Amino acid sequence: MAITLDLPAETVRLLKEKAARAGQTLENYLQELAKRDVLAANGSPSVDSQAVPSALPTEEWVARWYAWAERQLPRAVVLDDSRESIYAGRGE
């Protein structure tokens, strides 16, 4: 079935970039995107949850991981992991 969509030029540009990074044509990329969305809506495991190599280049994945890590709040509690505290009360 053929579907025609009117998308903003910027959206089309970004989709083409993502498709190229995934090594796919825009049409194939959009078909896979639609399939993943339908599977996720039906409660089926999505492609992302399976053991599939990431479509992102390594540098971009690393950059996103570091960005995510920077957004994580530091823990308010500092644990005492010294040897004395670990073995306290064990007759050491």
**Would you list the domain boundaries of the chain?**
9-86
Please determine, for residue 75, whether its predicted confidence score (pLDDT) is greater than 60.
Answer: yes
Helix (H, G, I), strand (E, B), or coil: what is residue 54?
A: coil
Over residues 30-67, the pLDDT tens digits come to: 988 888 888 877 665 554 544 445 577 888 888 888 98
What are the respective helix, strand and coil percentages of the chain, to the nearest 5? 55, 0, 45
Distance CA 92, CA 90 (A): 6
Amino acid at 37: D
